[in-house]
């Protein structure tokens, strides 16, 4: 990990949750949004994707060739190294642009910082980490906004660009398509083990490496193969994000439990009891929609619900496209990608986890 100023306290000790596991639960958000009716910004005219569509970001068409993508994401410390936290938060914020099939163009920082309790030099490490990831993405960081807050938070608001006819959207699944996941699961349980002081160095190294890997290559490969249905896997877990995709598409899905890639140390973290509250909330909320077959290992079921931070792309391969070739292309970019399931006819939003 990168060097940084020694913090007054462990950064992860300063927040109740960590990373995307500190999101409000999906059940509470859906209940809240249902009270807004159509006033929340449904897509109409040049607004191609609004809030009511429940997608990863908003999209506004400028002309026949260009659409802008707008998103934001920020969270409390997920690791204790300040620069790594900045890198992870930036990669996570940029991810929603890739999840819509776009390219990040410009971003501003969003920062909350306890100025009297933590060194400003430490904040400099956070911002420097975020800037390094934005540079890697070819995205300009042009300022931001800071407030004094006892709980540190960091992220970005990002604007990207895409072709309006080549967007990725969650409601574009078709029965028979194969589902591909580009990154391994387990960042939620590993980040919880970091917060509790129980993580091994190899676990941290693997999780940080995964969370700071941009989804740019995965998105480019998906575009190359004509993908139209995609999302990124973050706080709602693999099953939560897949549930939202199949519900929006009026279909169901099956996941092959044994095919899902898992980060080193993730199963050990679960065995040691390091399961975040966000993962438990996901499991409870999804219970009416998810059926896990007997024989699926208990820790695998936890990981499928695990609240991820800066997770991989989940996308559906169009008919006629060689799935093995797509997976091979992703792995050639050092992504632990796998075909993890399929889209099927069935009750909208239902997901079955197969042995």
Distance CA 38, CA 52 (A): 7
- Asked if residues 38 and 128 have their Cβ atoms less than 8 Å apart, the reply is no
Distance CA 206, CA 130 (A): 19
Q: Pick from 278, 276, 307: which is nearest to 199 by CA?
A: 276
Distance CA 215, CA 212 (A): 9
Residue 84 among known ligand-binding residues? no
Residue 129 among known ligand-binding residues? no
Q: What would the two tokens of residue 315 be?
A: 């996308």
Residue 192 among known ligand-binding residues? no
Distance CA 79, CA 88 (A): 9
What DSSP state is assigned to residue 150?
Answer: S
Active-site residue, 20 included: yes
Residue 23 among known ligand-binding residues? yes
Number of neighbouring beta carbons within 10 Å of residue 273: 11
φ, ψ (nearest 5 deg) of residue 38: -95, 10
Distance CA 255, CA 262 (A): 14
Residue 86 among known ligand-binding residues? no
Residue 146 among known ligand-binding residues? yes
Residue 145 among known ligand-binding residues? yes
Residue 56 among known ligand-binding residues? yes
Residue 324 among known ligand-binding residues? no
List 11, 14, 18, 20, catalytic entry: 20
Binding-site members are 23, 53-56, 73, 96, 144-146, 232
Binding-site members for Mg(2+) are 56, 96, 232
Active site residues: 20
Binding-site members for ATP are 23, 53-55, 73, 96, 144-146
């Amino acid at each position: 990990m990168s060097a940084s100023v020694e913090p007054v306290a462990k950064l992860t000790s300063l927040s109740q949750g960590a990373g995307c596991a500190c999101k409000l639960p999906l059940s509470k958000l859906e209940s809240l949004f249902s009270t807004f009716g159509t006033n929340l910004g449904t897509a109409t005219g040049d607004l191609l994707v609004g809030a009511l569509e429940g997608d990863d970001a908003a999209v506004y068409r400028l002309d026949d060739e260009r659409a802008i993508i707008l998103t934001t994401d920020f969270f409390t410390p997920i690791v204790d190294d300040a620069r790594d936290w900045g890198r992870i938060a930036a990669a996570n914020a940029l991810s929603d642009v890739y999840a819509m099939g776009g390219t990040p163009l410009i971003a501003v920082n969003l920062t909350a910082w306890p100025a009297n309790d933590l060194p400003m030099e430490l904040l400099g490490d956070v911002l420097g980490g975020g800037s390094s990831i934005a540079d890697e993405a070819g995205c300009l960081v042009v300022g931001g906004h800071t407030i004094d807050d006892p709980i540190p938070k960091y992220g970005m608001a990002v604007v990207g660009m895409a072709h309006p006819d080549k967007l990725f959207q969650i409601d574009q699944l078709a029965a028979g398509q194969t589902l591909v996941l580009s990154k391994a699961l387990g960042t939620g349980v590993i980040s919880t083990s970091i917060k509790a002081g129980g993580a091994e160095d190899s676990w941290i190294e693997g999780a940080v490496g995964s969370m700071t890997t941009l989804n740019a290559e995965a998105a480019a490969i998906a575009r190359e193969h004509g993908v139209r249905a995609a999302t990124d896997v973050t706080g709602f877990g693999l099953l939560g994000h897949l549930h939202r995709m199949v519900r929006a598409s009026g279909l169901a899905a099956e996941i092959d439990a044994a095919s899902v890639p898992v980060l080193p140390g993730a199963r050990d973290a679960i065995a040691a009891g390091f399961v975040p509250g966000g993962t438990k909330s996901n499991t409870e909320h999804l219970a009416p929609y998810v059926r896990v077959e007997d024989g699926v290992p208990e820790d695998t079921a936890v990981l499928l619900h695990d609240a991820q931070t800066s997770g991989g792309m989940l996308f559906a391969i169009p008919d006629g496209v060689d799935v093995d070739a797509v997976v091979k292309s992703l792995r050639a970019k050092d992504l632990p990608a796998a075909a993890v399931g399929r889209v099927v006819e069935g009750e909208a939003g239902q997901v079955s986890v197969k042995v």
